[in-house]
Amino acid sequence: MIKRNIIILALVGLIVSAGFNKAPNSAVNTAPPLSGDLIIFHAGSLSVPMKEISAAFKKENPDVNIMMEAAGSVECARKITELKKPCDIMASADYSVIDKLLIPAYADWNIKFASNEMAIVYTAKSKRSSEITKDNWYKIMLDKNVQIGRADPNADPCGYRAVLVTKLAEKFYKQKELSNQLLKKDQDNMRPKETDLLALLESGNVDYIFLYRSVAEQHKLKYVLLPNEVNLKKPEFADLYSSVSVEINGKNPKEKITQKGEPMVYGVTVPKNAPNKAVAIAFVKFMLTKQKGIAILEKLGQPSLIPSPTISYDKIPIELKAFASKPKK
């Protein structure tokens, strides 16, 4: 009898223990799925990769409704700061736009995630396209029979980077007044963001544009690669790049910001008042994961910079800290 009771007590213990061990897993498995609207403001140059990343994220999270707005990065920031439009994620073609226009009033942190380079982009229909090289591109663009285009420096990083490229080219090719000559030419072809220039180019109304290499590759366009001393790509030329600058509009129309040349680095943040912060952080995590969003970005011509040092590291949510690092002292 005693032996039988011992066996019964042992069985009861095992059942109770199994119940306790199962409880945590059950809680994880029953966690509600991600849902609701997710509003993303992003640079025009990120249009193609963001579309693919969003589609992949939605496959895993079908209850999330993703709404994307593409614009120049400066314009994206002003939608948040001036127009007070709701936004869950801001992805900028220049990380410094987030640092200068959003932090600390509208955002706490910034993660650098990808790079790019400037190029001269054209089509087979472009005038003198059979002649253009990295040594003579500026001469062809100054031809009075050739139409050139660029983005607005006050709306889009690609616009002020085009200005910086002309100034670096003036130094590199030792051509006095080259920058002014290029910037004064065909000003009617300036557009709010770089992707707006694609229609002008593909229709033949413009022959050459200053554009990111990644966008040229994504749209299967021809392009001339610029020397590293000019293309804003290489960190080892940071000192040279910073020797040129351009003034752009600041947080309000009366304020001016001096934008120095620097290697091209993209940044992403979640604004403080993001309406759907939990889903926003989950999306950024997906976007910055090597086998997921980063794989898409690299496939589309934008090398990863994960992890990169950031001065806002301590403010980054715990779920995202692995994608950044503390700056070296």
pLDDT in tens, 44-98: 999 999 999 999 999 999 999 999 999 999 999 999 999 999 999 999 999 999 9
Report which DSSP code applies to 198. H
Would the pLDDT of 300 be above 90?
Answer: yes
Q: What average pLDDT does the structure give for the chain?
A: 91
Helix and strand totals (H; E) in the chain:
12, 13
The percentage of the chain sitting over the pLDDT mark of 70, rounded to a whole number, equals 90
Would the pLDDT of 27 be above 70?
Answer: no
DSSP 39-51: EEEEEGGGHHHHH
- Residue-range domains of the chain with CATH: 36-115+265-325 (3.40.190.10), 118-249 (3.40.190.10)
H-run or E-run covering 56: helix 47-60
C-alpha closest to that of 139 among 235, 202, 208 = 208
Question: Residue 46: left if φ>0, alpha if ψ -120 to 50, beta else—which one?
Answer: alpha
Give the confidence band of 30 by pLDDT, cuts at 50, 70, 90: low
The 10s digit of each residue's pLDDT in 139-188 is 999 999 999 999 999 989 999 999 999 999 999 999 999 999 999 999 99
C-alpha closest to that of 147 among 212, 193, 191 = 191
